A and B are shown apart, each in its own frame.
Chain A
Amino acid sequence: MNTSTVEIIILIIHFLFFIYACTAIASYIILAMISSKETIEYMKKNSFVNYKEILSSTISPSITIIAPAYNESLNIIENVRSLLSSHYVNYDVVIVNDGSKDDSLEKMIVAYDLVKVDFLINQQIPTKPIRAGVFKSTNPAFEKLTVVDKVNGGKADALNMGLNISKSDYVACIDVDCLLLENSLQKMIKPFLEVTDKTVIATGGVIRIANSCIIKDGKLLDVNFPKKLIEKAQILEYIRAFLLGRMAWSRLNGLLVISGAFGLFNKKVAIEVGGYDTNTVGEDMELIVRMRRYMEETKQKYKVAYIPDPLCWTEAPDNYKIFISQRNRWTRGTIETLRMHRKVAFNPKYKSLGLLSYPYWLLYERLAPVIEVIGIIYFIILAALNEVRWDYALAFIILAYLFAVLFSIVAIFSEELTYHQYKKKGTGFKLIMISLLEPFVLHPFILYAAIRGNIDYYFNKKKKWGEMTRKGMATS
């Protein structure tokens, strides 16, 4: 190999990096434009729907909320209470106590007057067996509640138990510590019932961050902007991802992920595909991909819908250690899902799933951190060899930074023009400040966690799930 070949190879690599960066930026811009179009339409369509006066009757389809709980004793009573206060009429709540080692079950038995009942389970998806039994309340005020105590099998296994137990047409799978607004089920069920020419297999909701918000008796009383940088930065990140990213993918019918914290599923399809996969840490993404695949393979028209309203509030990690372990897990979940379904990639048989959604996720979500790190290492090598034109590099870095900031600000605008959740005076300034700081206070940690996720996935297969220790919900 002579010098000129090496030079050509290096040139090609440079060119590829450049193309990658340009397409990534272009995709952000395109997605933002699509999402603003979709958002405007959504707002117009729903501006005069009075959710209070509709769907309170029993003609509406049945929904089961399935909430797996593992060692949640600290807040379980409050959390269950919040789940029981939905305004939708035809729904019930199944709490799956996934082999908790604490006194969650005992606490629920006392608080909700539970007694053990005979329950015939149609075991359509295999799960770990029942432990203490199935419980229902003797108090008519809690008749919607069922508690199942089973042997520990992980979140996916617990959700599968819920799928087996539910007698409803639709299931809402949620994290037990999520706070749902009272009209969330009405809003989430709407897409399933509106579409006449295809089957809606799932609807995803937005996750909002409840840190520092005032919550009492399972109800959100006041929305506050938290103090810690990491919490503020995550709020910005969520607004960006949900209002600018997912909204656009929903328009393209290309959503690959419905947040595990809150999603509504067509139970029949979810069971037909075999429920949640218990062997992955990314069971929420994996299920959607598998359901989409199934619909494509059986040639049925389908849609994965998405509701941008702030309906589900949850506590986000408030320290870097937990944050990193959460993102590490997300990364492994993505890698696993994409690998399991690699058959779909670039396969025209799967239409937009194979040609658009999957490749996009592979290139710009799965590989982005890897490519970024390679770029950084390459840059360091060049710097060491004194091959960097610092003035040019600086110009590009400034440009990239400004683009990131601009994009965040656009996201803030879409939040202000739609839901305007952070109403308090002064929060606008804080939002701007955090969009300037976020590339320094959050992005490096996301990158680090993603790389750790890759390393753990390939070299540390036995790694158990990072358990997310949760801080108690702020109560007043």
Chain B
Amino acid sequence: MYSYQHFIDYFKNAPAIIQVVWVMIVLFMVIIIILIIYLKLLRSRLRKNEKIVAQYQNEYESNLITYLYSGNEEEEISAEQQLIVEKLKSCVPDKFKRRVVVSTLLRLRNEISGEMAESIQKLYFQTGLINYALSSLKSKKWYVVAKGIRELAQFHVKEVNDQIVIHVNNPNKEIRKEVQLYLVTLFHFEGLKFLDVLQTQLSEWDQIQLLEVLQRFDEQEIPNINPWLKSKNDSVVIFAIKLAKIYNQFEAKDTLLDLLEHRHKKIRVEAIQVLSHLQVYEAKEVLKNKFNELSLEEQIAFFKLLENVFESSDESFLQEHIQHKNFEIKVSALKIFKLLNIEKFHSFKRLLSAPKDAEIIEFIENN
């Protein structure tokens, strides 16, 4: 016991800071040992979970397939189906099992359509899974709400529309995103009505996702986009411009022309691009007349538009700009010239003799 006593004495007589250091050493060692043991447990739990998930998934997968193939015409639900419903029902109160059941159903729900898809949805109701999704809407945790909405969208539960629309202007970005996806997935263009009341900005990511969902449907009957093009919410305007482009909304031409005066530069540029896509000749005259007041981005976009809608009357305007210091504008102008008046184009060879310009002319000549 001598050394132990010795150490106690040493510790007592050491300065405070050394005492602190020794206390921390012991503390750290204890923490490290605890963490090492915990890491061991954690890793084996993760490994085990992976195995269990795979096992449950296999089981539920074959349950699901049996369910889908054991229906018959006469009964609403066959005895065999009833058995599976009961079995799954007993699994869903367990959070871990529920997650696997839901993901198994979804893996199939997302990939198939027709009668079988409807059967899967029926199973979703019969097993009571829907109640868990609905109760998650009332959760205080944003990700639980968002996940719940997503699940309801994936299972096409249209009936709970009212409970979901109230979240359109939810302060949480992720919840809003799921609400929008829910509406558009289930109600297609009709679901876009949320744009009328949206107070927050629709991010580029959200817009792309919505457009991708919309593109999955065959219907091309799109609602009147004019009100959205006039929206006070700039992101809604940008989104509407994208709709105009993808669905060739020539009817919205006049509103699009008005957007050339919008206070937001990005919107002006995008408006030029869509007018170019729709080949609106009126846009050309408007922009040509105020070309020098435009920002560089608008000028570049305008020249792209010109490539689509040029006429021989544009020749003098183009000639003014073949010396433009912006590369893209110069290339555009020369490209159009080549198509418009090949002789004049050749005459530029003398005019633009700087090596860089010669390179551009040569390239356009050959391509």
Task: Please determine if A and B sit in direct contact within the complex, based on CB atoms under 8 angstroms apart.
Answer: yes
Name the segment of A192-200, A243-251, A254-262, A352-360 touching the other chain: A192-200
Question: B350 at interface (Cβ–Cβ under 8 A)?
Answer: no
Write the nearest CB–CB distance from A234 to chain B, whole angstroms.
20
Question: B132 at interface (Cβ–Cβ under 8 A)?
Answer: no
The answer, among B24, B39, B331, for a CB contact under 8 Å with A399, is B24
B 9-35 to A, binary, CB cutoff 8 A, 1 in contact else 0: 010000000100110110011011001
Known A395-B25, A416-B43, A432-B36: A196·B215 in contact at CB below 8 Å: no
For B39, what are the chain A residues with a Cβ–Cβ distance below 8 Å?
409, 412-413, 416, 428, 431-432
In the assembly, what is the distance between CA of A195 and CA of B366, in Å?
Answer: 43
A 418-438 to B, binary, CB cutoff 8 A, 1 in contact else 0: 001001010011011000000
Name the segment of A42-50, A102-110, A148-156, A307-315 touching the other chain: A42-50
Write the nearest CB–CB distance from B332 to chain A, whole angstroms.
12
In the assembly, what is the distance between CA of A139 and CA of B265, in Å?
Answer: 41
Question: A396 at interface (Cβ–Cβ under 8 A)?
Answer: yes
For B22, what are the chain A residues with a Cβ–Cβ distance below 8 Å?
395
In the assembly, what is the distance between CA of A398 and CA of B24, in Å?
Answer: 10
The answer, among B32, B143, B328, for a CB contact under 8 Å with A122, is B328
For A316, what are the chain B residues with a Cβ–Cβ distance below 8 Å?
none
Question: B268 at interface (Cβ–Cβ under 8 A)?
Answer: no
B29 touches A120 (CB 8 A): no
In the assembly, what is the distance between CA of A406 and CA of B201, in Å?
Answer: 44
Write the nearest CB–CB distance from B360 to chain A, whole angstroms.
6
Cβ-closest chain B residue relative to A122:
B327
Question: A297 at interface (Cβ–Cβ under 8 A)?
Answer: no
For A420, what are the chain B residues with a Cβ–Cβ distance below 8 Å?
46
For B364, what are the chain A residues with a Cβ–Cβ distance below 8 Å?
120
For B205, what are the chain A residues with a Cβ–Cβ distance below 8 Å?
190, 193-194
In the assembly, what is the distance between CA of A45 and CA of B144, in Å?
Answer: 11
Write the nearest CB–CB distance from A191 to chain B, whole angstroms.
9
Question: How many residues does chain B have at the interface if contact means C-beta atoms less than 8 Å apart?
Answer: 48
B 80-111 to A, binary, CB cutoff 8 A, 1 in contact else 0: 00000000000000000000000000000010
Question: A60 at interface (Cβ–Cβ under 8 A)?
Answer: yes
Question: B211 at interface (Cβ–Cβ under 8 A)?
Answer: yes
For B360, what are the chain A residues with a Cβ–Cβ distance below 8 Å?
120
A405 touches B32 (CB 8 A): yes
Question: B261 at interface (Cβ–Cβ under 8 A)?
Answer: no
For A57, what are the chain B residues with a Cβ–Cβ distance below 8 Å?
208, 211-212, 215
The answer, among A118, A196, A428, for a CB contact under 8 Å with B363, is A118
For A423, what are the chain B residues with a Cβ–Cβ distance below 8 Å?
46-47, 50
In the assembly, what is the distance between CA of A380 and CA of B270, in Å?
Answer: 68
Question: B40 at interface (Cβ–Cβ under 8 A)?
Answer: yes
For A417, what are the chain B residues with a Cβ–Cβ distance below 8 Å?
42
Question: B262 at interface (Cβ–Cβ under 8 A)?
Answer: no
Question: A458 at interface (Cβ–Cβ under 8 A)?
Answer: no
B174 touches A45 (CB 8 A): yes
Write the nearest CB–CB distance from A116 to chain B, whole angstroms.
13
In the assembly, what is the distance between CA of A328 and CA of B167, in Å?
Answer: 54
B25 touches A398 (CB 8 A): yes
Question: B209 at interface (Cβ–Cβ under 8 A)?
Answer: yes
Complex interface residues of chain A between 1 and 55 (CB less than 8 A to chain B):
44-45, 47-48, 53-55
Known A57-B212, A196-B235, A409-B35: A120·B331 in contact at CB below 8 Å: yes
Question: B118 at interface (Cβ–Cβ under 8 A)?
Answer: no
The answer, among A59, A118, A395, A432, for a CB contact under 8 Å with B211, is A59
In the assembly, what is the distance between CA of A436 and CA of B148, in Å?
Answer: 44
For B24, what are the chain A residues with a Cβ–Cβ distance below 8 Å?
399
Complex interface residues of chain B between 185 and 214 (CB less than 8 A to chain A):
201-205, 208-209, 211-212
Cβ-closest chain B residue relative to A416:
B42
For A44, what are the chain B residues with a Cβ–Cβ distance below 8 Å?
143
Question: B147 at interface (Cβ–Cβ under 8 A)?
Answer: yes
In the assembly, what is the distance between CA of A73 and CA of B75, in Å?
Answer: 68
For B275, what are the chain A residues with a Cβ–Cβ distance below 8 Å?
none
A409 touches B203 (CB 8 A): no
In the assembly, what is the distance between CA of A195 and CA of B202, in Å?
Answer: 10
A428 touches B43 (CB 8 A): yes
Question: B246 at interface (Cβ–Cβ under 8 A)?
Answer: yes
Question: B359 at interface (Cβ–Cβ under 8 A)?
Answer: yes
A195 touches B203 (CB 8 A): yes
**Most B CB atoms within 10 A — which of A48, A61, A119?**
A48
Question: B338 at interface (Cβ–Cβ under 8 A)?
Answer: no
Residues of chain A touching chain B, judged by Cβ–Cβ distance below 8 Å, are: 44-45, 47-48, 53-57, 59-61, 118-120, 122-124, 190, 192-197, 391-392, 395-396, 398-399, 402-403, 405-406, 409-410, 412-413, 416-417, 420, 423, 425, 428-429, 431-432
* Residue contacts A-B, CB under 8 angstroms, 20 given: A44-B143, A45-B174, A53-B110, A57-B208, A120-B360, A123-B356, A193-B203, A193-B208, A196-B203, A197-B201, A395-B21, A395-B25, A399-B21, A409-B36, A417-B42, A423-B46, A428-B39, A428-B43, A429-B40, A432-B39
Q: With contacts A55-B212, A429-B40 known, what are 9 further pairs, Cβ within 8 A? A: A54-B209, A57-B212, A120-B331, A120-B364, A395-B22, A396-B21, A402-B28, A413-B35, A423-B50
Residues of chain B touching chain A, judged by Cβ–Cβ distance below 8 Å, are: 10, 18, 21-22, 24-25, 28-29, 31-32, 35-36, 39-40, 42-43, 46-47, 50, 110, 143, 146-147, 150, 174, 201-205, 208-209, 211-212, 215, 235, 242, 246, 327-328, 331, 356, 359-360, 363-364, 366-367
